[in-house]
Amino acid sequence: MKPEIIKINLQEKLHSIKANNPFEDFAYLRAVEESNSASEKSGWIPEHIGEIKNKKLISFMPLYKKFNSYGEFIFDHQWANALQRTGRSYYPKLLTAIPFTPCEGDRILADNEQSKLSLIDAGIKKMETEKIESWHILFPNEACKTVLKEKGFVERFNYRFTWVNENFEDFDNFLSIFTSRQRANIRKERKGIAKQGIKFVCKQHDEITTEDWDLFHVFYQKTYYERGQDPYLNRDFFKLINAANQIVKPVIFFAEIAGEPIGASLCFEGSNTLYGRHWGATAKIKNLHFECCYYQGIEYCIKNNLKFFDPGVQGEHKIRRGFQPHVSSSFHYFLKDDFGQAVTEFCKSERVQIENYIEACKSYTPFNNDYRIK
């Protein structure tokens, strides 16, 4: 029996396809959508598709119709302006991504290549039927990239910084890969935090209480308000995440002085990767961000034998703290060749700049002569 491709409503009781990171599980996507963090009001209209065979979901691809580029972390405003100057509409566009979550993953969940190709064909057919100019697939992993290249998607290069666990025994063992000067700098940062009486409490998965989430939400909001922005995620999102804590595996590092929390960072634990996502603090303390968002996460990875720590996109300051630069990318498909060719040329030029930037970053890394970036 041939699988049937249908629109998937996450509110229905469907079993999630097995994923390697928490963000592709239906529990996480439902939390984003049911909380109205990603909603029609904020420009996210769900159009997810999947294959059904023998009444069972066998493949799935998150898909949104977008009327803006809000919350994507891949910036295409130049493209939108260029197309609109020709009298054509850039929006709505199709988007395959996890809302507000710039983490790499298998954007098309299927156990075989044919299913992935079938879902891509369905997306292209939707573009043709609805005359949608473009489709964007953000932060796919290597397995997904191969299929997208086969289908003629344009690859746009970017960069990110990731920590790699080389079977470190503890944090001091990790510091051994640095030059003596940078080892001293990191130790100084950490001692400065400890001297102020700041201690850290790690809560993971079902250890996190409703009160913990209330407190974290206050910290999280403050980060956005300080920038003059509204937060992407609301309190209901964190409430729904708490209800699914054994599935999406949140980890919160609370910073405390005399038992009173002053800040926190939120991560999610995947099969081999810790994903740093959000942070906030009510006190402005030098180096608190580095300790809360980087060093605590590194120690967690070492203790729990996680291979990678992805702290989020951008940020050259991560290099000095042991995060290594590497290429990341997004993929883009265009309904008409004229616009597609123009974007292809743009991406070719941008790729050279990104590759030069990454090489420059590698020369800036503070590792000793015995350690080389892989």
pLDDT in tens, 170-207: 999 999 999 999 999 999 999 999 999 999 999 999 99
Angle, vertex CA 149, rays to CA 146 and CA 152, nearest 5: 155
User: Using one digit for the tens of pLDDT, what is the confidence trace for 303-343?
Assistant: 999 999 999 887 888 999 999 999 999 999 999 999 999 99
Are the CB atoms for 95 and 295 separated by under 8 Å?
A: no
Amino acid at 156: R
Q: Are 108 and 61 in contact (CB under 8 A)?
A: yes
Give the DSSP H or E segment for 126.
helix 113-130
- How does DSSP classify residue 140? B
Domains of the chain: 4-159+326-364 (3.40.630.30), 166-306 (3.40.630.30)
pTM: 0.95
**Burial classification of residue 64, based on how many CB atoms lie within 10 Å of its CB (0-12 exposed, 13-18 middle, 19 or more buried):** buried
* 347: nearest Cα among 371, 365, 329: 329
Q: How confident is the model at residue 19 (pLDDT cuts 50, 70, 90)?
A: confident
| pLDDT value for 369 | 72
Alpha helices by DSSP H, listed for 227-368, are: 235-243, 245-248, 288-290, 296-304, 337-364
Give the CA count within 13 Å in the CB-facing half-sphere of 14.
Answer: 26
- pLDDT tens sequence across 49-94: 999 998 889 999 999 999 999 999 999 999 999 999 999 999 999 9
Largest separation between any pair of C-alpha atoms in the chain: 67
- Sign for the CA dihedral angle at 309, 216, 206, 96 comes to negative
Share of the chain above pLDDT 90, in %: 88
